[in-house]
Structure 1
């Protein structure tokens, strides 16, 4: 039997719209409307999960889900950069930003490195068993990237090359040690299973 982990990036929020690191803002009205409009396109699932951020919880609620919050699926912890924009940081701390973007082990913000993020998300992913069935997890884009990098054993430098638009599904199927990827599809109703 195969476990299916579908990662859904949350709806657009103020932090994403303003190109800044999330600082715990709730989902705004436009994001709620977008998520409600996508609700009919979710795949069949056996369990719903979400990251503990207000944006992920708000997206899950707007989708009509009652997910369990999973701390291991929290966003990249950016320490002192929380709430700040990348353009602002690049002007104020150009060396720190350059080091962070170039070195997966760097954490000049005082938070978590990409190495740490990928290890945390990968450990959670590899802990899934066949009994987990079809999981849907609403998680931040950095968590989607980390899961893909881990599952496909990609070089960490490719983390920044993976785009994860709001309200898109990334599907990993398989089991620990052998994952397949289906990425970037928008929520759309799945065809009904054949009647036998």
Structure 2
């Protein structure tokens, strides 16, 4: 059985990431600016600086958010033809577009419940457990996903939101849901997973070289 190697790349720096703002909903249009935060000039420069830092012979997936698709394009990837079934970020319901501080001030009890209980979804969106399950199912299905080019079958490249990368890492390690909050994902960082026979291994994340 072929080993599947998955390289997960976090989006480059954006205003939304700087502000700790809950990003856009799945399927938002890729135009203009907004809460999802298209990349800022620093993010664009850094993405351009690392566009040759990863293998091109890979199946490509891109989270359906503006900053992930903009990052993918800045990396020289064909984001427009990537499957729309790429791993979407957690659906945050009415908290979408608001900052963490704003929600904590307006709904402290709801925020506390969301952080403490993986099954809670006080925002009306998706719970942490639901996200972990969905991303885990996506990851486990990759070895069986069709590839037009057989040479690409064993390699997967995904530009994905930080919460998706956290969930994939926790799933690969068989970690409990609470481990999700203990995983930090920096802009333009990479996490590498390899899977075979239903078991995943983690190659500790490395930061892509973005230059000075």
State whether TM-score is above 0.5: yes
Which of 202, 205, 209 is the equivalent residue of 1:181?
202
What corresponds to 2:73 in structure 1? Answer: 61
Distance in 2 (alpha carbons) for counterparts of 1:182 and 1:122:
17
User: Could you report, residue by residue, the CA deviation over 1:104-158 in whole angstroms, capped at 9, with x for unpaired residues?
Assistant: 0000011100111011111110001176211110000000011011111101011
Aligned-residue CA RMSD (Å):
1.5
Q: Is residue 84 of structure 1 aligned with residue 98 of structure 2?
A: yes
**Alpha carbons 1:4, 1:172 under 8 Å: kept:** yes
My pick for the range that moved more, 140-149 or 41-50, is 41-50
Which residue number in structure 2 is paired with residue 11 of structure 1?
Answer: 12
The CA deviation string for residues 81-108 of structure 1, in whole angstroms up to 9 with x for no partner, is: 0111111111111110000000000000
For the 8 Å contact 2:94–2:124, the answer to whether it is kept is yes
Counterpart Cα distance in 1 of 2:88 and 2:204: 20
2:70 is paired with a residue of what secondary structure? helix
Give matches, 1:72-151, under 5 Å. Answer: 72-129=86-143, 132-151=153-172
The number of equivalent residue pairs is 188
Contact 2:9 2:188 in 1 (8 A): yes
Contact 2:14 2:39 in 1 (8 A): yes
**TM-score scaled by length of structure 1:** 0.90
Secondary structure at 2:202 match in 1: strand
Asked whether the equivalents of residues 167 and 186 of structure 1 are also in contact (C-alpha less than 8 Å), the reply is yes
The answer on whether the counterparts of 1:32 and 1:62 sit within 8 Å (CA) in structure 2 is yes
Question: Residue 153 of structure 1 aligns with which residue?
Answer: 174
What is the TM-score of this pair, normalised by structure 2?
Answer: 0.84
> 2-side partners of 1:2 and 1:106: how far apart?
35
- Alpha carbons 1:52, 1:69 under 8 Å: kept: no
CA shift, 1:184, in A, is: 1.9
CA contact (8 A) 1:56 1:140 kept: yes
Unaligned runs of 5+ in 1: 189-196
2:29: which partner in 1? none
Question: Against the structure 1 CA distance between its residues 100 and 176, is the aligned structure 2 distance closer, same or farther, given a 3 Å change threshold?
Answer: farther
Judge conservation of contact 1:128–1:175 (CA < 8 Å) in 2. no
Structure 2 stretches of 5 or more lacking a match? 25-35, 145-149
